[in-house]
Structure 1
């Protein structure tokens, strides 16, 4: 079971602003900050930590759970507003069903400022809402 995840980022302030904005629709907020590292989570517990550094390779893939498809859409919009890039020029990271995983896998994927793939996923069927 995963407790938390940590990423090295090139520009600490830029990445801190990106994660504050893009994870807000999921209820995540900045819960701790010490020097050049910040923790994002909810209920006072950091689940994602970022730290300023020099190497961000290889890039990572992080997937957060969403309770509904609207939250996936809100994440994507907030991430785009915060400067995220789509995973390719064709916009394939936009919110949508990814049937290659399963029939109800609804997600959005963006690249953060350091090229890490950040995904938000809802596994609940559309007709359940």
Structure 2
């Protein structure tokens, strides 16, 4: 059974992350498809549902507890080489920090091509 969606919980600032991901994921065809702020925002390539979700922070957790959770996330999106370059550039312009420029990653397999960005919460987005 294929994956339906994934949620990135405990975002420190939901609206700031929304702006970042609108810009960073635009080159991959993603847009906001469902917004139930302040609880969650869904991104997708279709009209409904969304397959990538941001969830608002849990107010009962301290900032350090929220950061501990989010810094362990690694989320990889699929795209062509041109899309990988466009994603990397858009994410940097949106305030992301480079964690690996576009290029081959032969340690995974000979044709693996990716770029890595830290989002505003320190998540490693590929």
Short-chain TM bin: 0.7 to 0.9
User: Which segments of 5 or more consecutive residues in structure 2 lack a partner in the other structure?
Assistant: 59-65
Pair 1:22 & 2:33 matched: no
Instruction: State the TM-score, normalizing by the size of structure 2.
Output: 0.85
Q: 1:109 aligns with which of 109, 116, 122?
A: 116
State the alpha-carbon separation in 1 of the partners of residues 98 and 102 from structure 2: 11
User: What residue is the counterpart of 1:2 in the other structure?
Assistant: 3
- What is the 5 A alignment of 1:115-126? 115-119=122-126
In the aligned structure 2, how far is the partner of 1:57 from the partner of 1:32?
Answer: 27
Aligned length in residues: 113
Q: What is the SS of the residue equivalent to 1:46?
A: coil
| Distance (Å, rounded) in 1 between the aligned partners of 2:19 and 2:46 | 20
**Structure 2 counterparts to residues 1-129 of structure 1, below 5 A:** 1-8=2-9, 9-36=11-38, 37-44=40-47, 45-54=49-58, 55-58=66-69, 59=71, 60-66=73-79, 68-87=80-99, 93-119=100-126
- Point out 4+ residue stretches in structure 1 off by more than 3 angstroms: none
SS in 1 for 2:53: strand
Structure 1: 5+ residue stretches without partners: 88-92, 120-129
TM-score by length of 1: 0.84
